[in-house]
Homo-oligomer: A and B are copies of this chain.
Amino acid sequence: MISQSKIKLINSLSKKKYRDINQLFIAEGEKLVSDLSDSSIHIKWLFASKQWIEDHSSIIADEITECEESQLKKITQLKTPSPVIAICSIPDQKIQNLDIDKDLTLALDDIQDPGNLGTIIRLADWFGIKNIVCSQNTADAYNPKVIQATMGAIARVNLFYTDLELFLKQAREKNNSIYGTFLDGEDIYRKELNSCGIIVMGNEGKGISSKIESLVSDKLLIPSFSTNPIHSESLNVSTATAITLSEFRRRF
C-alpha cells in the first residue's frame, strides 16, 4: 500500500516546482530503474510488483514497497504503468567540482524541448561525454518526459544548471576552447578540433544567443551538401549535436 500523502507527493513531482522543493524525481520502467540502480543515483522509494522485486533481489533503495498494478496506477505518469517506479534524489552537482580541462563538455544554451534534451543526454552517454552544463532556462532534465527520452542515460551523465555566461567566461579566461555551430562558422569537417573543450548547442528557434556567441572561440559550420539553391536553413538541435559529437570523437 502507498499512503495518500506519498501518492500526493509523487504526483506533484510532475511539476518542476515540487521537484525543486523535494529534490526528488520519478523514474519509471524496468531498464531505466535498473540503469539508475547501477549508478551513483540514490533511490529513495521503490514501488514494484511482487514478481519484479523477486527478480531484482539485489536492488538497493531506502524503502521498497510491493504494489498491485492498481496501486502503481495511482502514481504512474504513463498511460500504462510499468512494473516498477522509483523515486530518486536529484543529484547535488556543484559546478565548482566540474573539471573541464581533460575532456569534452557539452553546454546547452536554453534548449526548450524535453524530447530534444533527452535525446541530447542519450547522445552524450553514447559519445562518452560525462558532463553537460545547462543554462538556467534550459528545460529541466528531471522532467518525466526528459527522463524517459534519455532511455537510461540520465543515470550516467552529470547535469549542472548554472549561469552559462559566467561559466563560459571563466572557461575562456583559462584558455579553454569553446565551440559552437553557426551558419557563418568554419567547415567542421576541415577544421582542426581539440580533444578537450566545451561544445555549446543553442536554442531550437533562436540558436546560440548573442551574449554566448561572443564567448565562443571557434565557430563551426555543419555544411549542407544540397545542390538546390533553396534548401533547409538549419538542422534540428539533436541532429546537429549528433553530427558535432561524432565529428569530435572520430578524430581521436
A contacts, CB < 8 Å to B: 35, 38, 115, 119, 122-123, 125-128, 151-153, 156, 189, 222, 224-228, 230-236, 238-243, 246-247, 249-250
Q: Quick check: A235 and B128 within 8 Å, CB to CB?
A: no
> Which of B226, B247, B250 contacts A126, CB < 8 Å?
B226
Measured between C-beta atoms, what is the minimum distance from A225 to chain B in Å?
A: 4
A86 and B250 CA atoms in complex are apart in Å by: 43
Q: Quick check: A226 and B123 within 8 Å, CB to CB?
A: no
Of all chain B residues, the one with the shortest Cβ separation from A150 is: B232
Of all chain B residues, the one with the shortest Cβ separation from A230 is: B38
Q: Quick check: A126 and B156 within 8 Å, CB to CB?
A: no
List B contacts of A123 (CB < 8 A): 235, 239
Q: List 5 A-B contacts (CB under 8 A).
A: A122-B232, A126-B232, A236-B238, A242-B243, A246-B247
A119 and B235 CA atoms in complex are apart in Å by: 8
A123 and B225 CA atoms in complex are apart in Å by: 10
A21 and B115 CA atoms in complex are apart in Å by: 34
Q: Quick check: A156 and B243 within 8 Å, CB to CB?
A: no
List B contacts of A240 (CB < 8 A): 242
Q: Quick check: A127 and B242 within 8 Å, CB to CB?
A: no
Q: Quick check: A156 and B235 within 8 Å, CB to CB?
A: no
Q: Quick check: A128 and B226 within 8 Å, CB to CB?
A: yes
Q: Quick check: B225 and A249 within 8 Å, CB to CB?
A: yes
